[in-house]
């Protein structure tokens, strides 16, 4: 039986980076992955596939050309689902290869099979074929991710009724789709379908899309998605579903009837811990279905850590990577990475994309913070005009007392890239004056920071300053 300093269960962002961190500092590491493919949901069914499909939808729909040249044309004639998926498949293959090379480069032993705790320090790996292998370690990192919640009353068939993983198996581009759940996954896929000209309807029990966003950004996103042709049914929930007629008929609690060719359920996920044997080491999941950890991602069993989607919110690949690194550095006492940054950005790849970090207007009101707002519209930015984005906006939230930046919220082209400049100023507790002092390349979208800061100073003074 092989003994390791560390056994990592799961090869998604948290698992891969945690394993590499330990190996980098000379620890003997084993990585156990249930699937034949490395990378977890991030590479295979979640983050990268959906984001790549977004780019394919923009390409095949010609949305960019409409913005640039006013050309409106239908989806490319004869487009097949194979055409649509081709780029996604290429990106996934490349990223799987990258993870595999990283594991080899760090001399990490890779075991393919389902890991199951035998006791506090022993793990049995059950491969799809062949005999189980028994391995042991001083420290464990659970990074098994999450999976879609599949309610037993929904007749999932992965042909007409999908979850957010199996939607990638669709064999056609449907005429219409009903998306149940207005969270990140639901909004992203609904916007992708809408961009392709699919009749898309989104059902959610809340009153607006992505309610954790700054409300103004959320409402502006709603307007953009409505312009794409999306239908919203808010403050409503699914009552029952019938697919006996060849089309899916959904009856909502409000009494409304919705018909669609396909249905995507994107309402909730839970930790993927079935068969892991957590009870053998005195662990379980909380009422939300996730493993509980402390600030360094340590479970109630001190030598067992957990990171990534398996611990729940925020369940972002970017955050999961850092959680894995922090966990391992704590486990082995590495004086390297002791915490996550104070500010964690949120990136949402709808069409248009959205990103935000720090305080929103709503959170400032809840906390009793004295704040002011500065805005810059993409319609006034030369680079946005070149790119064909006239609807975007960058919004700064800052303190009235000392002009210290409190939050940044962006909707539009390159939002998930632009957010990092604002995040650095937030982390350094800087003021909006920094954006005015900066010299930005021209023409760039980054200039919107300067003009949002000017707008904020004008609002603070009670009048609008000239943007000179």
In this structure, which topology does domain 352-461 adopt according to CATH? Enolase-like; domain 1 (3.30.390)
What pLDDT score was predicted for residue 66?
55
The token pair at 118 is: 């035998």
What pLDDT score was predicted for residue 71?
52
What pLDDT score was predicted for residue 468?
42
Question: pLDDT tens digits for 381-408?
Answer: 999 988 888 899 999 999 999 999 999 9
What pLDDT score was predicted for residue 188?
92
HSE of 325, CA atoms in CB hemisphere, 13 A: 18
> How much is the pTM?
0.87
Is 294's pLDDT higher than 60? yes
Residue range(s) in the chain whose domain bears CATH number 3.30.390.30: 352-461
Instruction: Assign 443 to helix, strand or coil.
Output: coil
Q: What is the mean pLDDT of residues 413-428?
A: 96
Q: What is the mean pLDDT of residues 329-346?
A: 88
What pLDDT score was predicted for residue 89?
83
Is 62's pLDDT higher than 80? no
Q: Is 175:201 a contact under the CB 8 Å cutoff?
A: no
**CA distances, 312 to each of 9, 225, 272, 293, 416 (Å):** 16, 28, 11, 10, 22
What pLDDT score was predicted for residue 79?
65
Q: What percentage of the chain has pLDDT greater than the value 70?
A: 94
Class of domain 2-148+270-332: alpha beta
Residue with tokens 């669709």: 170
Residue range(s) in the chain whose domain bears CATH number 3.50.50.60: 2-148+270-332, 161-267
Q: What is the largest CA-CA distance in the chain?
A: 75
Question: pLDDT tens digits for 71-122?
Answer: 554 555 556 667 777 778 888 888 889 999 999 999 999 999 999 999 999 9
The CATH superfamily holding the domain 161-267 is: FAD/NAD(P)-binding domain (3.50.50.60)
Backbone angles phi, psi at 232, to 5 degrees: -110, 135
What pLDDT score was predicted for residue 164?
87
Question: pLDDT tens digits for 170-199?
Answer: 888 889 999 999 889 899 999 999 988 889
The CA-to-CA distance between both ends of the chain, in Å, stands at 72
Q: Is 323:297 a contact under the CB 8 Å cutoff?
A: yes
Give the dihedral of Cα atoms 136, 142, 146, 150; nearest 10 deg: 50
Is 41's pLDDT higher than 80? no
Residue with tokens 């056994």: 7
DSSP secondary structure code for residue 275 in this structure: T
């Amino acid at each position: 039986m092989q003994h390791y300093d560390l056994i990592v269960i799961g090869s998604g962002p948290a698992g891969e980076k945690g394993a590499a961190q330990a190996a980098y500092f000379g620890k003997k590491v084993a990585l156990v992955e249930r699937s034949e493919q490395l990378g977890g949901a991030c590479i295979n069914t979640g983050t990268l596939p959906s984001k790549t499909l977004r780019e394919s939808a923009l390409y095949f729909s010609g949305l960019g050309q409409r913005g640039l040249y006013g050309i409106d044309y239908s989806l490319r004639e004869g487009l097949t689902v194979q055409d649509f998926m081709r780029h996604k498949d290429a990106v996934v293959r490349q990223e799987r290869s990258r993870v595999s090379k990283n594991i080899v480069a760090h001399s990490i032993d890779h075991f393919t099979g389902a890991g199951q705790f035998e006791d506090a320090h022993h793990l049995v790996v059950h491969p799809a074929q062949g005999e189980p292998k028994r391995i042991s370690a001083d420290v464990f990192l659970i990074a098994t991710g999450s999976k879609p919640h599949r309610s037993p009353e929904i007749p999932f068939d992965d042909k007409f009724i999908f979850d957010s993983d199996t939607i990638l198996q669709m064999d056609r581009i449907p005429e219409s789709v009903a998306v149940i759940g207005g969270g990140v996954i639901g909004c992203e896929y609904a916007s992708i379908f809408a961009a392709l000209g699919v009749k898309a309807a989104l059902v959610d029990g809340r009153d607006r899309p992505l309610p954790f966003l700054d409300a103004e950004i959320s409402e502006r996103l709603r307007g953009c998605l409505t312009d794409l042709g999306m239908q919203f049914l808010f403050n409503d929930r699914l009552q029952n579903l019938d697919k006996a007629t060849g089309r899916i008929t959904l009856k909502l609690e409000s009494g409304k009837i919705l018909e669609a060719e396909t249905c995507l359920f994107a309402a909730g996920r839970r930790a993927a811990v079935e068969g892991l044997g957590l009870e053998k080491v005195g662990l379980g999941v909380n009422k939300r279905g996730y493993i509980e950890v402390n600030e360094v991602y340590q479970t109630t069993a001190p030598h067992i850590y957990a990171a990534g989607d398996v611990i729940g919110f925020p369940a972002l690949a970017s955050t999961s990577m850092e959680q894995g690194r922090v966990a391992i550095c704590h486990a082995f006492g590495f004086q390297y990475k002791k915490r996550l940054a104070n500010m964690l950005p949120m990136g949402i790849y709808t069409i248009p994309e959205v990103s935000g970090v720090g305080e929103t207007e709503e959170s400032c009101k809840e906390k009793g913070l004295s704040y002011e707002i500065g805005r810059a519209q993409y319609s006034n930015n030369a680079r946005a005009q070149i790119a064909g984005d006239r609807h975007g906006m960058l919004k700064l939230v800052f303190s009235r007392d000392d002009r210290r930046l409190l939050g940044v919220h962006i909707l539009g082209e390159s939002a998930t890239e632009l957010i990092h400049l604002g995040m650095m100023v937030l982390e350094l507790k800087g003021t909006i004056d920094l954006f005015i002092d900066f010299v930005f390349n021209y023409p760039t979208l980054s200039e919107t920071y300067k003009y949002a800061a000017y707008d904020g100073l004008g609002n603070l003074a009670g009048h609008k300053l000239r943007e000179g």
